[in-house]
Every structure is written in C-alpha cells, then in structure tokens.
Amino acid sequence: MKLKSYAKVNLSLNVVGKFRSKKHKIESIVSFLNFYDLIYLKPTSFNKHKVYFTGKFAIGISRKNTISKLLHILDQKKLLKNQKFEIKIKKNIPNQSGMGGGSMNAASLINYFYNNKIIKLNKKELINLANLIGSDVILGINPKNTILSSSGKLTKFKKKLGLYVLIVKPNFGCSTKFIYSKVRCYSKAKYNNPKQSLLSKKNIINSSNALEKIVYKEHPKLIRIKLFLLKLSKVKFVRMSGSGSSILAYFYSKKATENARKEFKKKFSNYWCITSKTI
C-alpha cells in the first residue's frame, strides 16, 4: 500500500493565550499542498514493527518519532490485534520547516488504519489518539482546508483555494518548542465563529503569522528571503508556515510560480525550494 502524506501550511496563525496545561492557544487557517511524503506499508510476520526513513530529508530522524510513537500506542491499546507492519517513508517534506511532516505522517497512517477498519474507534477516541502523538496530528485527520479555533475546534471546508506556491527552506530549521517559548504577546481571537468567508483570498492576504517576528529575530537571514520573495513578479503574499523555517510565496498561476522559482534559484542557489499548489 502506498499513501500520500500531504504537507500542511498555515495561511494564518494567531497566538491568543494559554491553556491551564501551559500549552499555547492558537487559531489558524490551515491548508494542504500537493506536495507529500510517500508512505509504503505492508503487514509483516515479524514480532515487531519495522520502520524505515529514506529520501533527501531522512537524515537526523530519531528512532523515537511520530510513527514509532503511534505504533507503540496502538500496540499498548491492542488496537492492531498483534498485527505488525513494515513501514517505509520517503521524506520529501523538510524537517523543522513548519509544514508538519512528521505529524502528517502519523495522521496519514491513522487515516489508513481507521478508513480500512484495521482500528475501530469512535470520533472522540480518534481525536484523543491523534492528540497523544502531537498537537498538529489532528489537522491531518481528513486533510481539507480547515479553520482551527482557539478552543481547539476544527471546522473543515470543501472550498478549493486555487493558490500556487513557491516553498523555500533555508539550510536550518526551527524548533517549535523553542519558538513558542519566546511568545510574550497575545492577540484577540478572530476565528471562534468560523465561516467560509475566512477562506476568501482577501482575508487570507490580509492575515499574518504571529510567530514571524520571533523567528526573524532569531534568524535574520529569513528577513532577507522574505523581502526578496515580496519583490517577485505577480506575488500575492508571502508567509512563514507554522514556527518556520519554511517561507512560502503565493501566486494565482502556475507560470508565475515557476518564473519565481527560477528567479529565486539565481539569487539563493544553495537554498532548497519547490513549487506546488493547494489541494
């Protein structure tokens, strides 16, 4: 079986406070890109799961990762009924990029196990399982354009955004835990009454990522990248995803995006970049 594990992007992100658990309350407009890791899996007769990572961004992935954590929890709860799996993941999504590569890998496996009735859970149990692995994992359960409210509520929409993107990732990543530890200011919640109008191009363009100031202070190189992207022909807006370090330039056409990629590579030949589109 081959699964596509799509990259997640935050079209907006506001930090509005903290829960009693000290975890930050955030709200976000979340979309997914036609850019993905590939997950190959098959049942095995071994007495334990086998997990492998390959591809450009497989280097540095710990033995303790979102997949090993998911499989451990499923085994503990005996939801797989002692069936073991051999899983190979080709990593195309960069690590520490703010695009939720590891979290979406776990979500993709949960989706597969759930939709194929390999694990049997009700909706509440499914949410609890995702939250045990990581806060972003729930976003990848049934990946569609999503409004995340500050209460943690997810509202999904079928509306297609039709945005083309140039994804840029410098040669360093950002620790989500560290970036959030630097948050000192909170904004007023805007998405507690989620409507499809929040997904309008006008609203998205006028939105922002509240973590950008913190990340740019820690990594001034990213300011230079953003300023360059903002000057590209036909760019509509430029925004960091999650806690970085990826920065995305958004366009309305494939041709404009491809031209932007060529211009970027002339200036920043050592930085990874790729074009894609929202799904």
Query: Tens digit of pLDDT per residue, the chain (279 long)?
Result: 999 999 999 999 999 999 888 889 999 999 999 999 999 999 999 999 999 999 999 998 999 999 999 999 999 999 999 999 999 999 999 999 999 999 999 999 999 999 999 999 999 999 999 999 999 999 999 999 999 999 999 999 999 999 999 999 999 999 999 999 999 999 999 999 999 999 999 999 999 999 999 999 999 999 999 999 999 999 999 999 999 999 999 999 999 999 999 999 999 999 999 999 999
**Active-site residue, from 8, 90, 169, 226:** 8
Overall fold of domain 2-148: Ribosomal Protein S5; domain 2 (3.30.230)
| For the chain, domain boundaries | 2-148, 158-277
Q: What is the pLDDT of residue 20?
A: 83
Q: What is the pLDDT of residue 22?
A: 85
Q: Is 8 a catalytic residue?
A: yes
Overall fold of domain 158-277: Alpha-Beta Plaits (3.30.70)
Q: What is the pLDDT of residue 19?
A: 87
Q: Distance between CA atoms of 17 and 23, rounded to whole angstroms?
A: 9
Give the strand pairing for 50-54 and 84-90: parallel
Q: Distance between CA atoms of 34 and 16, rounded to whole angstroms?
A: 30
Q: What is the pLDDT of residue 15?
A: 97
Q: Is 75 a catalytic residue?
A: no
**Active-site residue, from 37, 90, 91, 136:** 136
Q: What is the pLDDT of residue 217?
A: 97
